[in-house]
Amino acid sequence: MNMYIQPEYEVVRDKDRCIACRVCERQCANLVHSFDAETGTMRADSGLCVNCHRCVCVCPTHALKIVKSDDTYKINANWDNQTINEVYRQANSGGVLLSSMGNPKDYPVFWDKMLINASQVTNPPIDPLREPMETQLWLGKRTVKIERDANGKLKNTLPPQLKLKVPIMFSAMSYGSISYNAHEALARAAEELGTFYNTGEGGLHKDFYKYGKNTIVQVASGRFGVHKEYLDAAAAIEIKMGQGAKPGIGGHLPGEKISADVSETRMIPQGVDAISPAPHHDIYSIEDLRQLVYSLKEATDYKKPVIVKIAAVHNCAAIASGIARSGADIIAIDGYRGGTGAAPTRIRDNVGIPIELALAQIDERLREEGIRDEVSVVVGGSVRSSADVVKAIALGADACYIGTAALLALGCHLCRSCHTGKCNWGIATQIPELVKRLNPDVGYKRLVNLVTAWNHEIQEMMGGMGINSVEALRGNRLMLRGIGLTDTELSVLGIKYAGESM
């Protein structure tokens, strides 16, 4: 107990509405609520509350709300409450501060500073309900040599492709960081939507091999759960070089989360911390990366595309150019707002760059070098809506990864306490009592609904622009205009300012 830290949020109970049904008490893994038998009333200890809103959502009489505490230190524009509390916390523990989910700081969101075009008079908009509107696409290398057989017929020399019915995939979230039920929901949703989910670096649970054709398996620096069958089961293989939430560092799954099942899937001892090193110890150059890319291709008979995922950092355009030349089929870039199950707070909040800027620069660099067709580009790291997807595609992406939005669909309330392992929504936990709170029958439908809804909106926006396929929107930066951006920002994004004509 740290006497210096006061509750950031307060649980407020409307005593007139509370019927003391104790549902809040039974649903809080943090033991905030308790029943006082003497008075027959409920009590709450706000000091234990993480503001996950589980109790608020399950309260049948809407008697609960959680408010930001107005308790404050003397107002100081330089030393705000949180900064002071972090000092107290470290003075108390002597440790590195840990956080979860994406960077919550007040940095600019460039998605919100770009506006989308629409057709008027001279080039009519298209009604997606009446006319074809294609959101299907393929990811992979487009460059092929034209070869003919002895009879002069064209040979199929197209490298392996991933076929997506929607320009959205679920980003890498490992079994271990999220629960079995969360993985099942993602896998089933990917199957129904005709897209892909990603195992993250935690291996593939034996129950989920049946979703293999909608699965991207990850090979990360810890090499957890990587074996021949794992690679064979997947539709594509992703080499994880970096993660947007924590560029430059590895991962650390605490031993408490290594249950028997997680241990078997990851091929590591139960209860022992799983540490992913910061670098791949066999990759110190693009040439080394090329070796791993081709090792994986060799192992899977050149039948599966290989993705290389990096965090968006200052030099990512040059790195992407190297990746495109390494033999990889797809580059995935993860922006600094991307989520995580646990990361050091200082890294999450201060390292990396916005995905919008990284994407624009990478697409431009690959075009300049004439190697854009060597790879597809997938972006993630806070794609929050269908509008963000449309803007990303117009900036040059082939498709988007969504992680946080998918978890929100499963019930996550962004309390950012994943690293405690006591997720009240059954997502970021391995405690059986909590895991069962996420019924995949319900969860997968919510994911399908979300992506279906986004896809409708993408079609509407494309139709408005008079564009009838995502392929035609890709890299079409004339469809974007900046607002509230400086000249430098406009030039990095490669777009014009609102009001400037074609």
Partner 1 sequence: MKRIYVNEKWCLGCHLCEYECAFANSGLTDMVKALKGKAIRPNIRVEDGNGVHFAVNCRHCSDPICVHSCIAGALSAEDGTVKIDGEKCVGCFTCVLVCPYGAILPSADGRIAQKCMLCLNNSCGEPNCVKHCINNAIVYEERG
Binding site for partner 1 (CB under 8 A): 16-19, 21-23, 26-27, 40, 57-58, 60-61, 63, 432-433, 436-437, 439, 441-442
Pick 63 or 347: Cβ nearer partner 1? 63
Cα separation values, 471 from 137, 166, 328, Å: 7, 12, 21
Pick 60 or 108: Cβ nearer partner 1? 60
Task: In angstroms, give the least distance from the CB of 168 to partner 1.
Answer: 25
Pick 21 or 371: Cβ nearer partner 1? 21
Task: In angstroms, give the least distance from the CB of 184 to partner 1.
Answer: 13
Pick 60 or 124: Cβ nearer partner 1? 60
141 CB neighbour count, 10 Å cutoff: 19
Pick 437 or 474: Cβ nearer partner 1? 437
Pick 41 or 270: Cβ nearer partner 1? 41
Beta strands in 236-319, from DSSP E residues, in sequence order = 236-240, 251-253, 274-276, 306-311
Helix (H) or strand (E) holding 36: strand 33-36
The amino acid occupying position 291 is Q
Task: In angstroms, give the least distance from the CB of 433 to partner 1.
Answer: 7
Residue with tokens 């597809």: 376
Alpha carbon distance 17, 13 (integer Å): 8
Pick 27 or 177: Cβ nearer partner 1? 27
What own/partner pairs with CB < 8 Å and gap ≥ 24 does 85-88 have?
A: 85/4, 85/5, 85/8, 86/345, 88/2, 88/4, 88/5
Task: In angstroms, give the least distance from the CB of 193 to partner 1.
Answer: 21
Task: In angstroms, give the least distance from the CB of 442 to partner 1.
Answer: 5
Task: In angstroms, give the least distance from the CB of 64 to partner 1.
Answer: 13
Pick 18 or 283: Cβ nearer partner 1? 18
Pick 17 or 43: Cβ nearer partner 1? 17
Phi/psi for 197 (5° steps) reads: -115, 170
Alpha carbon distance 459, 136 (integer Å): 11
- Which value, to the nearest 10 degrees, does the dihedral of the CA atoms of residues 176, 180, 186, 188 take? 150
Alpha carbon distance 434, 261 (integer Å): 16
Helices (H) and strands (E) in the chain, counts: 16, 21
Task: In angstroms, give the least distance from the CB of 15 to partner 1.
Answer: 10
Alpha carbon distance 140, 162 (integer Å): 7
Task: In angstroms, give the least distance from the CB of 420 to partner 1.
Answer: 20
Task: In angstroms, give the least distance from the CB of 127 to partner 1.
Answer: 37
Nearest to 165 by CA among 451, 394, 372, 376: 451
Helix H segments across 351-476?
Answer: 355-368, 386-395, 404-409, 432-435, 440-465, 470-473
Alpha carbon distance 425, 101 (integer Å): 15
Nearest to 383 by CA among 110, 137, 95, 138: 110
Pick 57 or 299: Cβ nearer partner 1? 57
Query: Two tokens at 480?
Result: 């974007």
Alpha carbon distance 310, 335 (integer Å): 9
Task: In angstroms, give the least distance from the CB of 405 to partner 1.
Answer: 22
Task: Judge contact between 171 and 403, C-beta under 8 A.
Answer: yes
Pick 27 or 321: Cβ nearer partner 1? 27
Task: In angstroms, give the least distance from the CB of 404 to partner 1.
Answer: 23
